[in-house]
Structure 1
Amino acid sequence: MRILHTSDWHLGQHFMGKSRQAEHQALIAWLLEQVDAHQVDAVIIAGDIFDTGTPPSYARELYNQLIGRLFKAGVPLLVLGGNHDSPATLGESRDLLAHLGTTVIAATHADPATQVIVLPQRNGEPGCIVCAIPFVRPRDVLTSQAGQSAEDKQRSLQTAIQEHYAAVHAAAQAKMAELANARPGKLPIVATGHLTTVGANTSESVREIYVGALEAFPTAAFPPADYIALGHIHRPQKVGGLEHIRYCGSPIPLGFDEAKQQKEMLLVELAGDGLKSVTPLAVPRFQGLVAVSGNLETLAGAIGAAAAEGTRDCPAWLEVTVAEDDYLADLPARIEALTEGWPVEVLRIRRQRGNAVVSLAAEARETLDELSPHDVFARRLQQEALSDEMQAALNERYRAIVAGLQGEEA
C-alpha cells in the first residue's frame, strides 16, 4: 500500500498582495505526475487545504480540479479539516465528493466509527485502515468548566484529544476484526492529526487562528498506529526522531522564513506487518521566494544572486532586510534602484533598526517612572525614519489624545 502524505496547501492564500494560484496549479500537475510515477494507491491531505474558512472561488476551483484529476486517475483522496478550514465549507460537498472517490472529514464526529476509513489499493482490495482525525476543536470534545486555569484547560483538552484518538483507534480495531472475516491477513493502521506536537519546529507562517487550541500534544499520547500522518507544522520533520510519526510540511513556502526549506511530500509504503519505508519527494520551487539582508553595499550582490531564481515572466519575490543604512528616509527608492533591471520584485522591506537598539541601550538606566507619556512616545517616534513635519503632526495628535483621556479621567 502506497500513500502520498501531504498537508497545508492553503489554497487561496493572499501573500502580501500576491496570489499563489499559479503555484498551486503547477503543484497539482506535479502531484499527478508523482502519483503515476510511483503508483500511489491513495492521497492524504492532513488539514488546511484552504487558507481561510471562506476561500475565494479560484481556490475552490483548484480543489475541485485536484479531486477530479485524482478520480480520473483512479486514486482515492482523504481530506482532513485543519484549523484554517471551515467545517461547514468543507462538509457542504462531502456527499457529492464521496461519489468522486474523495472522503472528507471536516470535524470530529460523535460516533468514532464514522472516522474510520478503509483506503483501497489500486486493485480494489483494502490497503489500510485510517483513524481519520482532523483538527480537534475544544468545543467538539470538551465541556468548559468555570474556574479552570489556563493550565487546567490545556490538561483537560489534551486528555480529551487523547481519549478521542483512543476511541477512534478502538473503532479501527473493530473494523479490522470485521474485515478479517471476509479476507485473511492484517491491515496496517494509519492515524492522522492536525496539531502541534511536543518538540516540533514551527515557522512564522504557522498561525493559530483558533483560540484555545492545544499548545503541544505528546507523542506518547498517540495510539499505536503503523504510521501517523500529521499536518499544521510547515517544516517537514520526524517527531521525536520517530520514523513513523511525521510532518510532511507545506508543499510551497508560505512565508519568507520558509524560503530556504526544501519542501516535500512523503511517499509512505505499508504492508500487513507495518511500515516499510518513508521516502521524501522533493517538491520543485514554482515561484522564486528569497529573503536577503545586509547594508546597501552588500545588498546589491545579494539581489543579483536572488535574481537567478526569477525570470522576466516570473520575477522572484524578495524580502529585503536592511542593516546599518536602515535609518535612511528614502530607503524604498534606494532598494528600487538596486533591483532595477533584475527579474525580481520586492514585496517587503524591513529595517533592522540597529541604531535604535544602540540608542536604547545607552538609555537603559532610564525607567518608565522617570519618563512622561510624551517622552515615551517621542523616544518611540525617533526610531522611525519620518520627516520633521510628520513627526510634529504625530506628536500634536498624540498630545491631543492624551489630553482627551486625562479630561475623561478627571
Structure 2
Amino acid sequence: MKILHTSDWHLGRSLYGRKRYDEFAAFLDWLAKTIEQERIDALLVAGDLFDTSTPANRAQELYYRFLCTVSNSRCRHVVVIAGNHDSPSFLNAPKELLRALNVHVIGSMTESAQDEVLCLLNNNTPEAIVCAVPYLRDKDIRTALPGETIDDKNARLIDGVKRHYETVCAVAEKKRLEFSKMGFTNVPLIAMGHLFTAGGKTVEGDGVRELYVGSLAHVGIDLFPSSIDYLALGHLHVPQVVGKREHIRYSGSPLPMGYGEANHEKKVIVVDFNGTAPDIKEIKVPLFQQLIRIVGSLDDILTTIEQLKTENSGAWLEIEYTGKDVVGNLRDMLDEAIADSTMEIRRIRNRRAIDRVINNICEEETLDDLDEGDVFARCMDAFDVTDEDREELTLSYNEILRSLQEDDRNAE
C-alpha cells in the first residue's frame, strides 16, 4: 500500500491581487503525473483545498478536473478532509457523487465516529484504515460555560481534540482487529488531521491562522493515540516532522503562499507500507513561479533588477526600499526598470516613507500597513482603554474574528 500525502493547496489564492491559477493548474498536472510515476494507491489531502469558503468557479473547476483525472488513474482511493479555510458544506455537497469515483470527503466532524473511519479495499482485501479527522471547530468539541477563564477554555479544547482522536482511533483499532481475525494482518492505521502542533514552524506572510483563541492552537503530539502508523497533517505550510516522530508529518503547502516561503523547498510525502514500518520519502515539488523579495537602497534594488534581467527572469517581485532618502516616485522608477522584461512587481514597501508617516502620525498611513489586530489596538488607543481591560477585550475580539472566519456561508 502506497500513499501520497499533500495539503494546503489554497486553490484560488492570489498574491497581492495577482491570480495564480496557472500555478495551481501546473501543480495539479504535476501531481497527477507523480501519482502515476510513483504508483500511488491512495491520495490523502489534509485540508485547505481552497483558500476561501466560497471558491471561485475556476478554482472549483481545477479541483473537480483533478479528481476526475486521478479517478481514471491507477490511484484507487482519494481521501479529502476539510481545513479551517474550507467550507464544510461546500466540500460535503457532492460527496455521494464523488464516492462513485472512490473519492471520500469528510467536510466536518460527523455525528458518529465510525463515519470518519474509512476502510480502503482492493478487491475486498483491506489495504489500509484511514481515520479522516477534519478540522475540528471550537463549537464541535467544546461547550462554552459561564464564568470560564481562558485557561479553562484551552484545557477543555485540548481535551475535546484528544477525546475525538481517541474515539475515532478506537473504532479503527477494532476494525483492524476484525481484519486480523480474518487473516489480514499488518493493515496500516493512518490518521489525518488539520491542526497546529506544539513546536510547529511557520514563516512570515504564509497566511496561517491561529485556529483557536488562546494557546490551544499548539497541541502536543502526545494527544494522538500510539496505534497510528502514519499521521498526515495539514495547516502548516512548512514541510516538517513533528516532535522528532518520523511518522507524524506536515507535507506543507505545494506553492509558496507568500514571499516568506519563496526560498523554501516545497514537498509532497510518499509513504510505502510494505512491511512492519512505513517507508517514508519526500518528493520535491517543482517551482512553477519564481518569487523574489528585494530589500535595500535604490542602487541595491536597481542592481538586483538588472541582474535578474540578464538571467531572463520572469519573477514576481516584492520590493522593500530601506534607503535614507525619501523617494516620492519610487513606483515609477521601478516600473521603468522592469519595462523591458517579463518580471512583475507585486508589492512595493517604501520603508522610509512608512517610517516618516508613523513617526509623524500622518494620515497617509493605509490599511495595507495594518492587520486586524493593529486596527483594534489603534481603536483601543483612541478610546484610552486601560491596560487592565486590554487583555480581556483583545481575547473577546479574537474570539469574534475566529467565529466569523469559521462561519460556513454555504450552509443553509
TM-score by length of 1: 0.83
- State how 1:94-243 maps to structure 2 within 5 Å: 94-120=95-121, 125-203=125-203, 204-208=205-209, 212=213, 214-224=216-226, 225-243=228-246
The DSSP-based 3-state class of the residue aligned with 2:208 is coil
**Residue pair 1:8, 1:251 contacting (<8 A) in 2 also:** yes
Measure, in 1, the Cα distance between the counterparts of 2:217 and 2:325: 36
Measure, in 1, the Cα distance between the counterparts of 2:229 and 2:181: 22
Give the Å deviation of 1:241. Answer: 2.1
Structure 1 residues 128 and 247 mapped into 2: Cα distance closer, same or farther (>3 Å)? same
Amino acid at match of 1:232: H
The DSSP-based 3-state class of the residue aligned with 1:104 is strand
Give the Å deviation of 1:74. Answer: 3.5
**Residue pair 2:36, 2:74 contacting (<8 A) in 1 also:** no
Give the Å deviation of 1:182. Answer: 3.2
The DSSP-based 3-state class of the residue aligned with 2:361 is helix
Q: Is 2:56 the partner of 1:56?
A: yes
**Residue pair 2:109, 2:133 contacting (<8 A) in 1 also:** yes
The DSSP-based 3-state class of the residue aligned with 2:346 is strand
RMSD: 2.4
CA offsets per residue over residues 299-345 of structure 1, 9 Å max, x none?
1232234457866xxx3211001111562111111222222322210
CA offsets per residue over residues 155-174 of structure 1, 9 Å max, x none?
11011000000000000011
Structure 1 residues 377 and 182 mapped into 2: Cα distance closer, same or farther (>3 Å)? closer
**Residue pair 1:135, 1:195 contacting (<8 A) in 2 also:** yes
Give the Å deviation of 1:229. Answer: 0.6
**Residue pair 2:296, 2:321 contacting (<8 A) in 1 also:** yes
Q: Which structure 1 residue ranges, 5 or more long, are not aligned? A: 360-375, 386-401, 403-410
Partner of 1:245: 248
Partner of 1:258: 261
Partner of 2:327: 328
CA offsets per residue over residues 179-231 of structure 1, 9 Å max, x none?
22433312111111111100001122233276648411101111111111110
Give the Å deviation of 1:4. Answer: 0.5
Measure, in 1, the Cα distance between the counterparts of 2:245 and 2:319: 37
Give the Å deviation of 1:39. Answer: 0.7
| Residue range with higher mean Cα deviation, 180-189 or 90-99 | 180-189
Give the Å deviation of 1:247. Answer: 0.6
- State how 1:335-374 maps to structure 2 within 5 Å: 335-353=334-352, 356=355
Greater Rg over alpha carbons, structure? 1
Amino acid at match of 1:201: K
**Residue pair 2:71, 2:102 contacting (<8 A) in 1 also:** yes
Amino acid at match of 1:300: L
Give the Å deviation of 1:286. Answer: 1.0
Give the Å deviation of 1:154. Answer: 1.3
The DSSP-based 3-state class of the residue aligned with 2:70 is helix
The DSSP-based 3-state class of the residue aligned with 1:36 is helix
Partner of 1:302: 304
Give the Å deviation of 1:383. Answer: 8.6
Partner of 1:398: none
TM-score by length of 2: 0.82
Amino acid at match of 2:84: N
Partner of 1:379: 360
CA offsets per residue over residues 265-300 of structure 1, 9 Å max, x none?
01111245232x221111111112111111111112
**Residue pair 1:47, 1:135 contacting (<8 A) in 2 also:** yes
Measure, in 2, the Cα distance between the counterparts of 1:144 and 1:345: 49
Measure, in 2, the Cα distance between the counterparts of 1:50 and 1:116: 23
| Residue range with higher mean Cα deviation, 50-59 or 109-118 | 109-118
Q: Is 2:66 the partner of 1:66?
A: yes
Partner of 1:288: 290
Amino acid at match of 2:95: R
Relative contact order, CA 8 A, sep 6+: which one is greater?
A: 2
Measure, in 2, the Cα distance between the counterparts of 1:128 and 1:324: 58
The DSSP-based 3-state class of the residue aligned with 1:43 is strand
Amino acid at match of 2:360: R
Measure, in 1, the Cα distance between the counterparts of 2:23 and 2:364: 38
Give the Å deviation of 1:351. Answer: 2.4
> Identity across aligned pairs (percent)?
35
Partner of 1:388: none
The DSSP-based 3-state class of the residue aligned with 2:316 is strand
The DSSP-based 3-state class of the residue aligned with 1:249 is coil
Q: Is 2:276 the partner of 1:273?
A: yes
Partner of 1:23: 23
